[in-house]
Structure 1
Amino acid sequence: MLKTLLAAVLAVTPMALPPPTGAALIGTVSVHLVDRSRPDPWVAGEPARELMAQIWYPARSVRGHRRADWVSPGVAARINPPDSGYALPVTHGYVGAPPARGWHPVILYSPGLGMERTAGTALVEDLVSHGYVVVTIDHTHDANLVEFPDGRLAEAAIPPPASPEEERALLDKILGVRVADTRFVLDELRGLPLAKAMDLSRVGMFGHSMGGAATAQTMAADRRVRAGINLDGTFLGPVEETGLDRPFLMLGSDTHGDEQDETWVRMWDRLRGARYWLELEGSAHLSFSDFQVLLHQAGLPAEQTEPMIGAIDGERSVAVQRAYVRAFFDRHLRHRDGRLLDRPSPRYPEINHLP
Structure 2
Amino acid sequence: MSLVAACAAAGVLAGPRWQWLPIAAGALAALLLGALRLRGPRPGRRPALRAAASALVLASCLGAAGAGGLAAWAVPVPAFPEPSGPHPVGAVTVQWEDPGREETWTDDPRDHRVVVARVWYPAAPDGAGDRAPSTYLGRDAAEAETVAEGLAAGFGLPGFVFSDAAAARARAVTGAAPAAGPHPVVLFSPGLGGVRTQNTVWAEGLASHGYVVAALDHPYDSAVVVLDDGTEVRGAVEATGDPAQDDRLARGWADIRAADLDLALVRLLEADGGPLAGLADPGRVAVAGHSLGGAAALLAAEDDPRYHAVVNLDGLPRLSADASLPQPLLALVAASGTGGAEGDARYARELDAAFAASAGPGYELTVPGTAHLGFSDSPFLLPPLPSLVGSLGREETARITEAACLAFLDSALNGGGADVADTLSGLGRLTPKP
The aligned runs of 1:36-115 (5 Å cut-off) are 36-45=99-108, 47-60=111-124, 61-72=127-138, 73-78=141-146, 79=148, 86=164, 88-115=167-194
- Distance across 2 between alignment mates of 1:82 and 1:181: 31
- Distance across 2 between alignment mates of 1:344 and 1:328: 9
Q: Tell me the CA shift for residue 221 of structure 1.
A: 4.2
**Structure 2 residue ranges without an equivalent (≥5):** 1-70, 150-158, 339-343
Q: Tell me the CA shift for residue 101 of structure 1.
A: 1.5
- The residue aligned with 2:16 is none
Question: Please, what TM-score do these two structures have when normalized by structure 2?
Answer: 0.72
Which amino acid letter does the alignment assign opposite residue 180 of structure 1?
A
Q: Tell me the CA shift for residue 191 of structure 1.
A: 2.8
In the alignment, which of 250, 257, 270 is matched to residue 331 of structure 2?
Answer: 250
Moved more, 185-194 or 167-176: 185-194
Counterpart secondary structure, 2:203: helix
1:219 aligned onto 2:282? no
Q: 1:190 to 1:340 in 2, by over 3 A?
A: closer
In the alignment, which of 389, 392, 400 is matched to residue 312 of structure 1?
Answer: 392
Question: Please, what TM-score do these two structures have when normalized by structure 1?
Answer: 0.88
- Distance across 1 between alignment mates of 2:422 and 2:356: 18
Q: 1:175 to 1:64 in 2, by over 3 A?
A: same
Larger Rg: 2
1:21 aligned onto 2:51? no
1:13-37: CA deviation from partner (whole Å, max 9, x where unpaired): 5312121100101111111111111
Moved more, 186-195 or 324-333: 186-195
Which amino acid letter does the alignment assign opposite residue 405 of structure 2?
V
Counterpart secondary structure, 2:173: strand
- Distance across 2 between alignment mates of 1:94 and 1:285: 29
- Distance across 1 between alignment mates of 2:365 and 2:161: 43
Counterpart secondary structure, 1:91: coil
Q: Which has the higher strand share?
A: 1
- The residue aligned with 2:363 is 276
The aligned runs of 1:323-334 (5 Å cut-off) are 323-334=403-414
Moved more, 182-191 or 77-86: 77-86
In the alignment, which of 252, 272, 276 is matched to residue 173 of structure 1?
Answer: 252
1:189-239: CA deviation from partner (whole Å, max 9, x where unpaired): 13322131221211011110011111111111421110011010000032x
Q: 1:158 to 1:221 in 2, by over 3 A?
A: farther
Q: Tell me the CA shift for residue 168 of structure 1.
A: 1.9
- The residue aligned with 1:4 is none
Q: Which has the higher helix share?
A: 2
Q: Assess if the C-alpha contact under 8 Å between 2:98 and 2:113 holds in 1.
A: yes
Q: Tell me the CA shift for residue 148 of structure 1.
A: 1.2
Q: Tell me the CA shift for residue 344 of structure 1.
A: 6.0
- The residue aligned with 2:315 is 233
Which amino acid letter does the alignment assign opposite residue 294 of structure 1?
L
- Distance across 2 between alignment mates of 1:16 and 1:113: 24
Moved more, 161-170 or 48-57: 161-170
**Structure 1 residue ranges without an equivalent (≥5):** 1-7
Q: 1:279 to 1:259 in 2, by over 3 A?
A: farther
Which amino acid letter does the alignment assign opposite residue 212 of structure 1?
G
1:270-315: CA deviation from partner (whole Å, max 9, x where unpaired): 33321111100010100110002332xxxx4x6xx22121212221
Moved more, 142-151 or 242-251: 242-251
- The residue aligned with 1:5 is none
- Distance across 2 between alignment mates of 1:147 and 1:10: 30
Q: Tell me the CA shift for residue 83 of structure 1.
A: 11
Q: Tell me the CA shift for residue 255 of structure 1.
A: 2.5
Which amino acid letter does the alignment assign opposite residue 429 of structure 2?
N
Q: Assess if the C-alpha contact under 8 Å between 2:93 and 2:117 holds in 1.
A: yes
- Distance across 1 between alignment mates of 2:162 and 2:421: 44
Q: 1:242 to 1:328 in 2, by over 3 A?
A: same
Q: 1:65 to 1:216 in 2, by over 3 A?
A: same
Q: 1:221 to 1:10 in 2, by over 3 A?
A: farther
Q: Assess if the C-alpha contact under 8 Å between 2:329 and 2:355 holds in 1.
A: no
Which one has more relative contact order, counting CA pairs under 8 Å at least 6 apart? 1
Counterpart secondary structure, 1:225: coil
Which amino acid letter does the alignment assign opposite residue 216 of structure 1?
L
- The residue aligned with 2:9 is none
How many residues are treated as equivalent by the alignment? 337
Q: Assess if the C-alpha contact under 8 Å between 2:303 and 2:323 holds in 1.
A: no
Q: Assess if the C-alpha contact under 8 Å between 1:65 and 1:96 holds in 2.
A: no
